Amino acid sequence: MLRGRVPALRAQIHGLSAEIDRLRDALNTVNDENRYAWDEHDRLDQENALLRDRLTAAGLSLPGGVAGVPAGTAAAGTSGTSGASGRRPRGSRKLRVDRQTVYTECVLKGTEFTAPDDQLAEEIRLSWARNVDAPAKADHPLNYRFGDGFLASVEKTVGAGESARRKLPDVLAWIAAGYEDRTSRHHAFRAGTSGGAPRVVRHTDGAKAFRVDLETSTAAARRLHYWKLPDGSVEFHSVNLHDDYPTM
C-alpha cells in the first residue's frame, strides 16, 4: 500500500520544492527592491539637504510646502527628531553620512542625439557620472558594448515614456561599471527554466550569460540579458519580456 503511494509522494515533494524556489526568488526580489528603495531614499534626502543649504546660503527662503528643515535646526516641539510630529517613520534606519554631489543639469529629453546608440550611451555615461563616487571611478570605468540586435530589442520591448526605459540607463551603467550586485535579481542565464539547468556560456570566447530584472510585480515585466566576457567587459544582448527566453 505504502509503496503504491511513492510516485504521488515524489510528485508532491517536487511540487513543494518548486514552490519553495519560487518563494525564495520572490523574497530575494523583495529584499533587492527594499535595498534599492532605501538607497534612493538616502540619496534624495542628501540631495534635499544640500539644496536647502544652498538656498539658505544664497539668502533665499524655502518655498511654501517644502518638507524638512535645514541641517542643525529642529522644528518646534520635535526635540531634534524628523517630521512635524517628532516621530521617525516606522522601520527607518540611520542615513549614511557620505554626501553625493548634486547635479543641476537638465534631465535628458531622449532626443539629444539622432542615433539611438549615441543617445543611450550618453544616458549611461551620465548615470555612471552621477551614481559612482569620484574615488571609485578609476577602478570602475564603463566597459561595455551593445551587441547586434540590442537596440532593436529595446525599441521593440520598452516604450519611450515607460518607467522601464527611464530605469534602463541606471541598470546598464551599474553592470557596465562592475556593480552587478546593485541590480535586481541578477543571476546566471541558464539553458532551461529549472534551477539545475546548465548556465549558458558562449563557446567562441567563454563569455557567460546573465539575466537581470528591469521590473518586478507587474504584467509583462521586462528582463535584461547580457554577456560578461573573461576580460571583464560587458556585451548587452537584449531586453525581453519575463517569459521570453532569448537564444544566446
Condensed to tens digits (0 to 9), the pLDDT of residues 182-217 reads 999 999 999 887 778 899 999 999 999 999 999 887
Please report whether residue 100 resides in a domain.
no
Question: Do residues 227 and 237 make contact, with C-beta atoms less than 8 angstroms apart?
Answer: yes
The answer on pLDDT for 56 being more than 80 is no
- CB count within 10 Å of CB 29 equals 15
The answer on pLDDT for 19 being more than 80 is no
Q: Would you state the cell numbers that stand for residue 134, as one nine-digit string?
A: 569620484
Please report whether residue 67 resides in a domain.
no
Please report whether residue 177 resides in a domain.
yes
Burial status of residue 232 (CB atoms within 10 A of its CB: 0-12, 13-18, 19 or more)? exposed
Please report whether residue 48 resides in a domain.
no
The pLDDT value recorded for residue 61 is 67
Please report whether residue 140 resides in a domain.
yes
Domain range enclosing 178 = 116-247
In sequence order, which residues have a C-beta less than 8 Å from that of residue 64 and are 6 or more positions away? none
- Taking alpha carbons only, the member of 246, 194, 203 closest to residue 225 is 246
Lowest-confidence region among 41-45, 115-119, 129-133, 177-181: 41-45
Please report whether residue 55 resides in a domain.
no
The answer on pLDDT for 92 being more than 70 is no
Q: Would you state the cell numbers that stand for residue 129, as one nine-digit string?
A: 557620472
- Report how far apart, in Å, the C-alpha atoms of 93 and of each of 37, 38, 75, 87 are: 12, 9, 20, 13
Please report whether residue 92 resides in a domain.
no
What strands, in cross-sheet order, belong to the sheet with 184-188? 144-146, 234-241, 222-228, 208-213, 184-188
Question: What is the average pLDDT score of the chain?
Answer: 79
According to the per-residue pLDDT averaged within each range, which of 1-10, 81-90, 232-241 is highest? 232-241
Q: How far apart are CA 124 and CA 179, in angstroms?
A: 13
- Taking alpha carbons only, the member of 171, 182, 148 closest to residue 222 is 171
Please report whether residue 164 resides in a domain.
yes
Domain total in the chain: 1
Confidence category of residue 150, pLDDT binned at 50, 70, 90: very high
Q: Would you state the cell numbers that stand for residue 25, as one nine-digit string?
A: 526568488
